[in-house]
Amino acid sequence: MSYTEDQLFFDDVTVGQEWETMGRTVTEADIVNFAGLSGDFNPIHMDHEFAKTTPFRRPIAHGTLVFAMGSGLLVHCPLMRTQAFLCIKEWQFLSPVFVGDTIRLKSKVLDIEVRSRGRRGVITWQRQILNQDNKIVQAGITETLVEGRGNRGEARASRG
């Protein structure tokens, strides 16, 4: 698959721009499949009887599963010419996510740094994963490497 003309270059975004994805409901199948994929069969996620003894009273989704789902939601919002996910500068797991919760992700551009004479750039993002009650369940700062248009103004270094 290649990029399309609908996908944004890093030079198409500006500091302060924000986007919000559509929602995605977390299912028990998501949790079971993630446990199988990751090998994380912690009873807090898998054992309904054990979960009744926890402060949550029911199984919770893996924090890294919710993070991964958020990452998947980002592919289309905003639709970017992303070349690499560079780092998680900080990330917080703030509240549990349960089967039946619907999550969505908000993104805000915090900084843009030109690289390789404008052929690509690093975008620093503020990310928030929210549930159906508009409660932030995870949040943090990430960086991605995004394709640029080329030599369109090297002087556009860091805009923040």
Helix (H, G, I), strand (E, B) or coil at 48: helix
pLDDT (tens digit per residue) in 54-73: 999 999 999 999 999 999 99
Q: Residue 60, CB half-sphere, CA atoms under 13 Å: how many?
A: 16
Q: Say yes or no to pLDDT of 49 above 60.
A: yes
pLDDT (tens digit per residue) in 124-153: 999 999 999 999 999 999 999 999 988 544
Q: Is residue 159 part of a domain?
A: no
Q: Say yes or no to pLDDT of 160 above 60.
A: no
Helix (H, G, I), strand (E, B) or coil at 149: coil
Q: Is residue 3 part of a domain?
A: no
pTM (2 d.p.): 0.87
Q: Is residue 157 part of a domain?
A: no
Residue pair 87/135 in contact (Cβ under 8 Å)? The answer is no
Question: How far is the CA of 68 from the CAs of 26, 48, 158, in angstroms?
Answer: 12, 23, 28
Q: Is residue 19 part of a domain?
A: yes
Domain count, the chain: 1
Residue 157's pLDDT is: 47
pLDDT (tens digit per residue) in 4-42: 778 899 999 999 999 999 999 999 999 999 999 999 999
Q: Is residue 127 part of a domain?
A: yes
Give the CATH number of the domain where residue 86 resides: 3.10.129.10
DSSP 10-43: GGG--TT-EEEPPPEE--HHHHHHHHHHH----H
Q: Is residue 156 part of a domain?
A: no
Q: Is residue 5 part of a domain?
A: no
Provide the domain limits for residue 16: 10-147
Q: Is residue 94 part of a domain?
A: yes
For residue 31, report the phi and psi dihedrals to the nearest 5 degrees: -65, -45
